[in-house]
Amino acid sequence: MNLSGVLIPFVPLLGFIINGLGFPKVSKRWAAWIGCGSVFISFLIASVLFIQSLTGSFESTTISLFDWIVAGNINVGFSFFIDHLTLIMLMIVTGVGFLIHVYSVGYMHDDEGFGKFFSYMNLFIFFMLVLVMGANFVMMFIGWEGVGLCSYLLIGFWWKNREYSAAANKAFIMNRIGDLGFILGIFLMFITFGSSDFDKVFAGSSAFATNDHVMVAITLLLFIGAIGKSAQIPLYTWLPDAMAGPTPVSALIHAATMVTAGVYMVARSNILYSIAPISLEVVTVVGLATAVLSALIAITQSDIKKVLAYSTVSQLGYMFVAEGSSAYSSGIFHLMTHAFFKALLFLGAGSVIHALHHEQNLRKMGGLRKLLPVTFITMFAATLAISGFPPFAGFFSKDEILVATYEKSPAVFWILAATSVLTAAYMFRLLFLTFYGEYRGGHHQHEHIHESPRVMTVPLMILAVLSTLGGFLGLPALFGDTHWLSHYLEPVFAANTRLTEHSESSLLEIMIVVLTVIVIAVIWWWCNEKYVKKKVAPAIVEDQLPLWYKLSYNKFYVDEIYDRVIIKPLEWMGDFFYGKFEANVIDGAVNGLGRMTVWLSGQLRKIQTGNIGFYVLSMVIGIVLLLIYGLSKMNLF
Amino acid sequence: MNLLISLTALGVVAMFGGILKFRSMVMPLSVLGLIGASLLGVYAWNTNQSFLNDMMRMDNYAIAFSIVCMAGTLLTILFFHFFHSENEIHYAEAVALMLFAVAGCAVMVSFTNLLMLFLGIEILSLSLYVLAGLRKKDLLSNESSLKYFLMGAFSTGFLLFGIALLYGATGSFATTQIAYQLGIAGMNGMAAMGLLLLMIGLLFKVAAVPFQFWTPDVYQGAPTIVTAFMATVGKVAAFAAFLRLFQLCFAPSKEGYQLVIGTVAAITMLAGNIMAIYQSSTKRMLAYSSIAHAGYMLIAVMTLNASSNGSILFYSVAYTLASISSFLIVMVVQQNRNNDTADDFNGLGKTNPWIAFALAVSMLSLSGIPATAGFFGKFYVFSSAVSDGFIWVVAVAVISSFISIYYYFRPVIAAYSKQTHDPVMTMPAGTQALLILLSLLTILLGILPGFIAGII
């Protein structure tokens, strides 16, 4: 293990600098090469390390570059930490990131901000790598903030559209709320452990009793950060709006990598969470509620990207449920498979949108199966994967989560299983509305629809392979293998002495397999009846909808409630403090102080009369006072 | 000692320059001589030699402050040379007086005997009295000179009386003896009275409130170049002597009088800054500003700890750089626009961008904005006071720094955001280059303060 690991984040940073400073002088061709190439180099380095870790010649290391913040007792090093968990994240971020970069070359080809786009994307990769490679929570926070910034920049990439910049603002502000929790958690860590270095914090935590209130506070504060970044209740509403950004951004940032930062963070801090089972319960409840709620919303949305966005929120909920059940490696497993199939889904949706000239409404799609064969087949694989159809990737990761929750609480298991049914339902609805039946757009458009270029379809194919086979990295015992991924991650959780062992029940797994197959078959039949034979398109006239549909279609009015309960009162307070309080009280005080000083100056200068006699008299008075004061101070009176 | 001898010789030579008609040689000779004397000082670094029966000692403190004073004198002489007119009758004599004054400074900062202290102060003061009246036919210049002399004489009485009382209490003029005797016998009434009277005399020299009365009148009446000299070289030497006296003689009993100095410092900062606000003449405003800066520097005298010497030295350098250039800019403005109110700086950023830059840098430095030397000057002084627990003094200092921004920024705002129809300002060759050099030095010290701060 040498310093080459340090290069992983800095190569994309170099790409950002070149493309960012060079824009728009660097030609599109070069911008694409630099943008994709820099991420590919990082991917290669990460791969070398990963292969070393498989052959056993790898040890987890901390690389300290320099002391960064030194103040009093606090010392924060600019240092990186690489272990098996980091390596998995590095492979996902650079691998999936690279594929999405390549895809963007085709997707963004006609955009005038091409070079700018790639510089932002590279900057994002840099910060994401800092996030997963940081050796202390402060470094993680840098990456955390940096990816937030890039997310903001890329959501508002087409900033001339006011709605898009509003969406960017919303994402940024919602994330601030979570970040506040995160940074307070870091402060509390400094107070408790005197450091934010992983090794010191985790070592120091072993002295605390289970559910010690400080540990509960730290873990809950960190989780607030995760709620913001990973779009959980109550801060999830920014993510659907974030779909305003270009589709590759949605795939990379708002599906595969950034939004999973919270999941990574909880897994990284597993020792802390295991000390605070109360926090784990909070994680479970929040994850579960989010998974259910957003699946319910996804089932009626008519914007293809909105469906995928709510699906992402729902799947992130799954990951948190897994971590809440102490199945940290299952959470990471689902993070990985989700990165494959959700990136694929977004890129496939992007391919559809690209073909239809920026049409995102499912109502105006349909029958694209023949016209976009590659997109269809790959998205079909991804749909099977996310629905948990065996043996696609999502089946194994969801299966692990379900088994883990069953041990903890059957109630959670059943709710989560029902959510899986919902997941399959909304995904097949999307698939049928897009690709089956007849085309519902204009005739004129129909003739212009053609499959996306190679540079876009090849990444789709690679991701389809990963979505199909990725699950075999975590085959359960029932199928003969022994959870390769969780064994690979074992060293990460080895220090966690309070981790509960998971037992496996073959019966439960067989039940899950059978149920999944039956449920998906039923859904298939149902979708076929409804969307192909009856040609039902999503409704538009709200008045005729049943109540549950209306609620779901309008996202349970959460945005409106936030507006009434939080935003309106805040605006009112702002108006009050700006209009009344500042104008009268603050300005009055400040200007009054200023006027008083100037007035005082006008009075004081009058003692400067120019008359020597007066000067001497004043000085003598001063001398007498000074002598009295001085002698009394020296106790000589 | 060689340094002192060469300075005096230089002064004598310059004086004869006027009589024997080799005026054109005076400036180059003085510049070379001052550089040579500074090199002698550098050569004597770390030698710590005593002279004249232990009446003075050229330690690093003395050398450092001598060099600062000589550098200030060098700049003043250069600018005086740039700006002097052909019919300036007393050109050589003025240069000679400045050289004598700086010789006095060298004595003041190296004394180890109260008589030498007195001698140094008088050499400096007498030269300054005459310099203030350099414009013989200018009524204001005459008034300035006379007022300075009268009030200076008044304060000298206190100084001498203080020395006499200390002699009575300890039987010696030597600082080592005084410290030794005070250490044995403790502070008695006579010694305390002597200490306070000496303090009063020195507070007058540094122009602290309530002994500041002479400053605005004298500074405004004297020729601007002389004002720059008094406000920088004179003040630095007075502070160096003040601090040296208290470090050598009275440091152990500082608890007794610290609060007295602290109170004077607080009043001085507040009064100086507040009174400066109302001044329409920038030159007079700078006079009040110099009073305020005396207040800041008094904080370092008050704390009287290990870091006081270094922080006063840094402050002196920062203050000298910024003050000389701001007085010079005022002089340029006076010559071009016949007045020096804030309005006369209008549009300077357009007409003379480099002069405006130098103005901005020196004003920022005087008000203590980071990335200028003035910031670190204040930082060192304030932080040593905070570490000794004088939070309230620092609070007053910070508040008065706020106030000072009001008037320091006035000419800068005029220079950059107001318009003018007046022509581009003209000035003697070399002035602009020297002003830019001073600004760059100010910024350099604001970025790398370690060069000077830790030297003594």
Amino acid at A584: N
Amino acid at A49: L
CB-count burial class (<10 Å; 0-12, 13-18, 19+) for A57: exposed
Chains A & B: contacts with CB separation below 8 Å: 84
Tens-digit pLDDT profile for residues B134-185: 988 889 999 999 999 999 999 999 999 999 999 999 999 999 999 999 888 8
Q: What is the mean pLDDT of residues B298-326?
A: 93
Q: In sequence order, which residues have a C-beta less than 8 Å from that of residue B429 and are 6 or more positions away?
A: B82
Residue carrying structure tokens 């029902």: A418
Contact between B245 and B308 under an 8 Å Cβ cutoff? The reply is no
Confidence of residue A542 (pLDDT cuts 50, 70, 90): low
pLDDT at B77: 93
Q: What is the mean pLDDT of residues A461-489?
A: 80
pLDDT at A503: 65
How many residues would you count in chain B? 456
pLDDT at A501: 63
pLDDT at A22: 81
Tens-digit pLDDT profile for residues B409-456: 999 999 999 988 888 888 888 899 999 999 999 999 998 887 777 777
User: Which residues on adjacent β-strands are paired with residue A61?
Assistant: A82
Q: What element of type H or E holds A80?
A: strand A74-82
Does position A346 have pLDDT exceeding 90, yes or no? yes
Mutate to test the interface with B, among A603, A605, A609 (most CBs of B within 10 A): A605
The answer to whether A622 faces chain B, any CB pair under 8 Å, is yes
Could you tell me how far CA B26 lies from the centroid of its own chain?
Answer: 24
pLDDT at A635: 76
pLDDT at A154: 92
Q: What is the mean pLDDT of residues B120-142?
A: 93
Q: Pairing mode, if any, of strands B49-51 and B56-58? A: antiparallel
Under DSSP, the state recorded for A75 is E
| Pairwise CA distance, residues B295 & B451, whole Å | 25
Q: Which of B441, B412, B247, B426 is nearest to B335 (CA)?
A: B426
Residue B6, number of CB atoms within 10 A of its CB: 17
| Pairwise CA distance, residues A279 & A223, whole Å | 8
Contact A598 B211 (CB under 8 A): no
Confidence of residue A607 (pLDDT cuts 50, 70, 90): confident
| Domain ranges across chain A | 300-542, 607-637
Contact A629 B211 (CB under 8 A): no
Tens-digit pLDDT profile for residues A89-137: 999 999 999 999 999 999 988 888 888 999 999 999 999 999 999 999 9
Confidence of residue B107 (pLDDT cuts 50, 70, 90): very high
| Pairwise CA distance, residues B431 & B355, whole Å | 9
pLDDT at A481: 60
The answer to whether A621 faces chain B, any CB pair under 8 Å, is yes
Contact B216 A608 (CB under 8 A): yes
User: Which residues on adjacent β-strands are paired with residue A303?
Assistant: A361
| Pairwise CA distance, residues A600 & A615, whole Å | 20
| Domain ranges across chain B | 1-255, 257-456
Contact A636 B277 (CB under 8 A): no
Q: What is the mean pLDDT of residues B265-291?
A: 93
Contact between B192 and B149 under an 8 Å Cβ cutoff? The reply is no
CA distances for A490 relative to A201, A330, B383, B432, angstroms: 20, 12, 52, 71
Contact B278 A616 (CB under 8 A): no
Percent pLDDT > 90 in chain B is 73
Contact B257 A634 (CB under 8 A): yes
What is the DSSP track for A509-547?
HHHHHHHHHHHHHHHHHHHIIIIIIS-------GGGS-H
Residue A368 tokens, joined: 């694209």
Does position B289 have pLDDT exceeding 60, yes or no? yes
The 3-state secondary structure of A238-307, one letter per residue: HHHHHHHCCHHHHHHHHHHCHHHHHHHHHHHCHHHHHHCHHHHHHHHHHHHHHHHHHHHHHCCCCEHHHH
pLDDT at B24: 82
Rounded to a whole number, what is the distance in angstroms from the first to the last CA of chain A?
77
Contact A618 B253 (CB under 8 A): no
| B273: closest chain A residue by CA | A601
A88-92, A149-153, A551-555, B199-203, range with the lowest pLDDT:
A551-555
Q: Give the global pTM.
A: 0.70
pLDDT at A538: 66
| Pairwise CA distance, residues B146 & B151, whole Å | 9
Q: In sequence order, which residues have a C-beta less than 8 Å from that of residue A318 and are 6 or more positions away?
A: A287, A291, A334, A398, A401, A416, A419
Task: Please report the ipTM that was assigned to this predicted complex.
Answer: 0.90
Tens-digit pLDDT profile for residues B233-248: 999 999 999 999 999 9
pLDDT at A478: 63
Does position A2 have pLDDT exceeding 60, yes or no? no
Q: In sequence order, which residues have a C-beta less than 8 Å from that of residue A557 and are 6 or more positions away?
A: A551
Please report residues of A whose CB lies closer than 8 A to that of B406.
594, 597
pLDDT at A365: 85
Helices marked H in A276-409: 277-298, 304-324, 328-355, 373-387, 393-408
How many residues would you count in chain A? 637
A275-289, A473-487, B27-41, B152-166, range with the lowest pLDDT:
A473-487
pLDDT at A479: 65
Q: What is the mean pLDDT of residues A33-46?
A: 94
Q: What is the mean pLDDT of residues A4-16?
A: 89
